[in-house]
Amino acid sequence: MIRLTFIAVRGTSSRGPFEGRLELGDGVQVISAQNSYGKSLAAKAVAWCFGVEVMFGVPANDAAFFPDAVCEELDFPEASGAQVLSSECSIGLLQSDGRSLVLTRSIIGGDRTMIEVLEGQNNEESTRKSVLQTKHRSMQDQTGGFQHFFFEWMGWPRTKVLTFRGDSSELYLENLAPSFYIEQKEGWTALQALQVGRYSQLQIREIATEYLLGALDQIAFRVSEQEGTQQRAVLKEAADEIANRVNGLFNVRGWPLSWSSHGSIASVAKRWRESTLVELLKSQANVDLETRISTLTTRIEALRKALTTDPIDPADLSSMAAVSQQAIELKNERHRLNVELNSLKIQHSQAIELGASLDARIQSASDVLRLKSTGVGRLDHIECPTCHRDLDPSTFSLSKQSSEEIEAHLEGLKRDRALIRSNAANISAAMAAQAGSINVVDEQLKEAESTLTSVSDSIGTVREQLTRRAADLSAAEREQDRAVGIRREIAQLQVEIDGWLKRADALESTGAAQTDIAQRRSKLQESLARYIRELGHSAVTLDNIDKLRLDEDYVPYLGVRRLHALGSASDQSRLIAAYSLAVADASKSLGGLHPGFVLLDEPLQQNPDDEHRELLFSSLTSDLSTIGFQLVIFTWLPKTDIARLEAAGIQVLHPTGRHFLKLLPDPAITATDGPSSIDPVQAELPKSEAPNTLVGPGSDEETFADEETGSPGGDEPP
């Protein structure tokens, strides 16, 4: 775990160099200063140095969220309206194993896409300085990316997450920061209010919480579930596409079959496995392509022999009559099919109309049911206006139905509707098949008419017979080509179906993973209950605290209601503070991946009354005083309260002066020097020598020597 050791902002103005610095120690650190002192500037410097500014809704590397003071103009007591020429900020981080980091990033006047990193080793005087980029792909860039470096330095594993677009992404520092960095304005509006949404990462809030709790198995399981869901959607889409093609092929040939892709992946797979396309054609449409092709081959051979070698009887007059009869039969067949198709169309339109009527009746019946249950407009007591006797509807041959009767009728209507819908779908499929049959007959008729024309144009019986035999041979060959083409198409579709079934098997075989998330969630719940009582949420009492629970998405509930919706408006900030502290506390107990510090900017802003301040005090001086992580609170407290806190051993930084940033007296640094001329190592000054430095009793300041420059850190003022 790490902690913040200092926060510094410095730069040059038209009136000389300026700097502000806060030294931070272990445990609870309260920074108390008047409004507009620059507390938020210091808080925002932390986010800027971590390169997580996107959580404020600004583009990466955009310093627009900083107050104007540090970007444009500063008012010093000794010089108002000083134009800011350049500025930068630094934070110090100290690992529990003794390693340290100083992160420095330019705000204006330098390259904002770069973070200067100064690494300090365990109890060694050596340091390593590097400049890392925090622009695009800062996590993926293994040599120069800041996030890649920082995750490695922290010992945090990189974690794959999925996006709404279906591609892979990663968990970034800006996804974790909203859980331990609560910004003054938006940060108090909801849990993880600053979570970055524009990366389109799926379930990122839950994943961020699980990561901080160290539940990496659960994240892997969650991501695998998401992948499974996405793969199922892709597989379903593929099934629909295959089914459409199969049905299209069946319909074109007029085969009244349906290859359905309705239902779940498992049900589709079960159905598709029952028979192959060839088997289905044989069993339900009586179509055996192999036999058909073989028969056509035999016929073609016979026709070819008849055309080329068989004798011709000059007295045979049957050719003309035969081809004519064939054309007539085909025309009759086409007529019959058209009549059937028209009947089907009428049936379909009636089924659709009936379905719409059933929809209307279901709607009316549902309304009547509501009318019965709500009693809207019901007359309680009805009596005859003349004889004042109770009126019984049965006197008028009328009846009232009970809710049960209407429910039963609704059920019947819904069954009817399902039946009608299924009927309409079947009719629709039959229509498509019928249209296909008509197309097939049309083709045959066209060929028959062509043969008839050729035969009728032939002179003499011999030519008539030859023409007919040639036309028959040609038709048989075309038919064989078509049959072979369909067989090939069906074989191709069957290959795709088999491939789909294999993918479905692989997907369905993924089992549920066993993780320890229940234990981790329970610990977080326990910590949340503790802190929420400490900070005094008005809706949570000793009587109902056992009903406090976290749901699957780590949303706190009290009984069946979301805690967010309970209590007074000011309880919202207490819930968020308690949740942030609970995540840090639970992570520490579970050996999780929480960085080890929580920063709360103005937790009392929403409720500055005595009662709420008193609640915060009592919690700070009791349970919170012994927390195992660093808690940095930016707020304003009266002197009496500061004294109370200090008496309880809490470090309170209470600077004087109007602003955090102050002009440096050193004339050696000219106004034209940019922030790049300021060595962050030099910024690590001893307490006594650092200008405008606020040092608390528990601060633990680190000094480093710069290996590259050879100059000892902290010896000289910047």
Partner 1 sequence: MSSHNSIQQLAELLQNHAKPVIRPQRLALSPIYDLDYRMAVIALAFAIHSTKTSEGEHRIDTSRLKLLQFVAQRPSLLPAMNQWASSKKTSPLLRGSSQRLRRGYMGDSTYDQVVEYMIACGILRPEGQYLALGRNGSYVDSIRLASEKESMFTQERFTLAELLRMRVTVAMLEGR
Chain residues that interact with partner 1, rule: CB under 8 A: 353, 356-357, 360-361, 363-365, 367-372, 374, 376-379, 382, 384-385, 391, 393, 396-401, 405-406, 408-412, 415
For partner 1, the closer of residues 405 and 707 by Cβ is 405
573 closest CA partner among 624, 633, 627: 633
Three-state DSSP class for residue 126: coil
Half-sphere exposure of 43 (CA within 13 A, CB side): 32
Bridge partners (DSSP) listed for residue 8: 21, 90
Q: How far apart are CA 672 and CA 528, in angstroms?
A: 51
Helices (H), 51-131: 68-71
For partner 1, the closer of residues 131 and 356 by Cβ is 356
Query: Nearest approach, Cβ of 174 to partner 1 (angstroms)?
Result: 43
Pairs from 350-354 (Cβ < 8 Å, separation ≥ 24): 351/420, 351/423, 351/424, 351/427, 352/424, 354/420
Query: Nearest approach, Cβ of 343 to partner 1 (angstroms)?
Result: 18
Structure-token match 């049905």, residue found: 247
Q: With contact defined as beta carbons under 8 Å apart, do 464 and 281 qualify? A: no
> How buried is 37 (Cβ within 10 angstroms: 0-12 exposed, 13-18 middle, 19+ buried)?
buried
For partner 1, the closer of residues 197 and 412 by Cβ is 412
Angle, alpha carbons 519-522-526 (nearest 5°): 140
Query: Nearest approach, Cβ of 345 to partner 1 (angstroms)?
Result: 17
Query: Nearest approach, Cβ of 417 to partner 1 (angstroms)?
Result: 12
The angle that helices 216-253 and 403-457 make with each other, rounded to 10 degrees, is 50
The set of residues, in sequence order, having a beta carbon less than 8 Å from that of 302 and lying 6+ positions away, is none
Q: What are phi and psi of 700, to 5 degrees?
A: -130, 95
Q: What are phi and psi of 101, to 5 degrees?
A: -140, 145
For partner 1, the closer of residues 412 and 559 by Cβ is 412
Structure tokens at 594: 């929480």
Element (H, E) at 598: strand 597-601
For partner 1, the closer of residues 392 and 708 by Cβ is 392
CA-CA-CA-CA dihedral for 418, 424, 427, 432, to nearest 10? -120
Query: Nearest approach, Cβ of 341 to partner 1 (angstroms)?
Result: 23
Query: Nearest approach, Cβ of 527 to partner 1 (angstroms)?
Result: 45
Rounded to whole angstroms, what are the CA distances from 25 to 455, 477, 684, 695?
108, 93, 15, 9
For partner 1, the closer of residues 396 and 553 by Cβ is 396
Query: Nearest approach, Cβ of 394 to partner 1 (angstroms)?
Result: 10
Query: Nearest approach, Cβ of 342 to partner 1 (angstroms)?
Result: 18
Query: Nearest approach, Cβ of 561 to partner 1 (angstroms)?
Result: 25
Query: Nearest approach, Cβ of 421 to partner 1 (angstroms)?
Result: 17
Q: How far apart are CA 681 and CA 685, in angstroms?
A: 8
> How buried is 224 (Cβ within 10 angstroms: 0-12 exposed, 13-18 middle, 19+ buried)?
middle
Give just the sign of the alpha carbon dihedral 667, 668, 672, 677.
negative
For partner 1, the closer of residues 366 and 426 by Cβ is 366
For partner 1, the closer of residues 365 and 493 by Cβ is 365
Mapped to the 3 state alphabet, what secondary structure does 162-209 carry?
EECCCCEEECCHHHHHHHCEECCCHHHCCCCCCCCCCCCECCHHHHHH
For partner 1, the closer of residues 354 and 539 by Cβ is 354
For partner 1, the closer of residues 288 and 411 by Cβ is 411
For partner 1, the closer of residues 130 and 357 by Cβ is 357
For partner 1, the closer of residues 1 and 358 by Cβ is 358
Three-state DSSP class for residue 613: helix
Q: With contact defined as beta carbons under 8 Å apart, do 448 and 404 qualify? A: no
Query: Nearest approach, Cβ of 399 to partner 1 (angstroms)?
Result: 6
Query: Nearest approach, Cβ of 428 to partner 1 (angstroms)?
Result: 21
Query: Nearest approach, Cβ of 390 to partner 1 (angstroms)?
Result: 11
Residue 334 CB coordination number (10 Å): 17
Structure tokens at 363: 């709607």
CA-CA-CA-CA dihedral for 468, 472, 478, 482, to nearest 10? 150
Q: With contact defined as beta carbons under 8 Å apart, do 25 and 677 qualify? A: no
For partner 1, the closer of residues 343 and 395 by Cβ is 395
Q: With contact defined as beta carbons under 8 Å apart, do 534 and 617 qualify? A: no
Query: Nearest approach, Cβ of 346 to partner 1 (angstroms)?
Result: 13
Rg over alpha carbons for the chain, rounded to the nearest Å, is 41
For partner 1, the closer of residues 375 and 591 by Cβ is 375
Query: Nearest approach, Cβ of 380 to partner 1 (angstroms)?
Result: 11
For partner 1, the closer of residues 402 and 640 by Cβ is 402
For partner 1, the closer of residues 311 and 377 by Cβ is 377
Query: Nearest approach, Cβ of 381 to partner 1 (angstroms)?
Result: 10
